[in-house]
Amino acid sequence: MKSNKKIQHLFLSLVVLVGFSSLAQDISVHDPVMIKQKDTYYLYCTGRGISVFSSKDLKNWKKEPAIFKEKPVWADSVAADFKNHIWAPDISFHNNTYYLYYSVSAFGKNTSAIGVVTNVTLNANDPNYKWVDHGIVVQSYPNRDEWNAIDPNLIIDENNVPWLSFGSFWDGLKMVKLNPNLLSIAQPEEWYAIAKRKNTPLSGGSSAIEAPFIFKKNGFYYLFTSWDLCCKGKDSTYKIAVGRATSVTGPYVDKDGNLLNQGGGTILAKGDENFFGVGHNSAYTFDGIDYLVYHGYDAKQNGKSVLVIKELKWDADFWPYL
């Protein structure tokens, strides 16, 4: 009987909450990113050692082994108290290799670093499956940097040049050029400030911004960001804003022409009767359909953070909407 209850609970935890147009999943996630290998989707998110799920249909998800069984060997030098709770991964495929960037940080401090691991396959049953940690790519230091080295996102521009965007709160979101091997910062260093919140009455007194994700489409680079406060259940005020640019380094502008690095941003999604807040999104094209993937604090489950997948659509002026 106990075994049957466990199976029933597992089944219920994977049901779709709303219809196909909004593939919200009753699996608890934060900061989801996704990729497809052959016929399988893999989902990576914040968790102990980085949480991993797999699915054949974007609806039913199976728990997979975490990336790190033990915390990265270098992590204690950055944030000794983080206890292998790794934040906000980013996954992509280049050079016949999977690159997964991840964040190690102390909460509320900019003692942070972004590392990267690589693998030739995502299938944990493949004999070639092995994550190799290449250590720190970017690190922030208190009293030196007015930015935070978390929430990485890799983008390859039209000239095949790799860039890493990242950042949270502090002085906003940054971007730096990487070497062709995607493992370190290119020399001489090229840095850009791509988005920032202004602490004004218009923003409700908030300067909270994090989680950049850049999606190339329609001849533009679309920069998605998350505003306000996550991780507070029913008190969450998280929302998704967007701007775009014709160059990967910007300047990014919103629908009204406001610069994102001066506080601009067009709201794409925010809390409603279904979710107290939504944010930390990623965007993809799978089988010819564009998707926005993010987490939301479910109003029907007292603010539990669940996976949301929605089709991403485009208006006549090539601005995204859901």
| Residue numbers annotated as active site | 31, 210
C-alpha dihedral sign at 275, 280, 286, 291? positive
Nearest-angstrom CA–CA distance, 199 and 207: 5
CA distances (Å), 316 to each of 219, 240, 257, 321, in order? 14, 21, 17, 11
The answer to whether the beta carbons of residues 259 and 248 sit under 8 Å apart is no
CA count, 13 A, side-chain hemisphere, 143: 0
Q: Is 136 left (phi over 0), alpha (psi -120 to 50) or beta?
A: beta
Q: Kindly tell me the burial class for residue 17, based on how many C-beta atoms sit within 10 Å of its own C-beta (0-12, 13-18, 19 or more).
A: middle
* Cα 265 from chain centroid (whole Å): 18
Q: Please name which of 180, 133, 132, 173 lies closest in space to residue 149, comparing C-alpha atoms.
A: 173
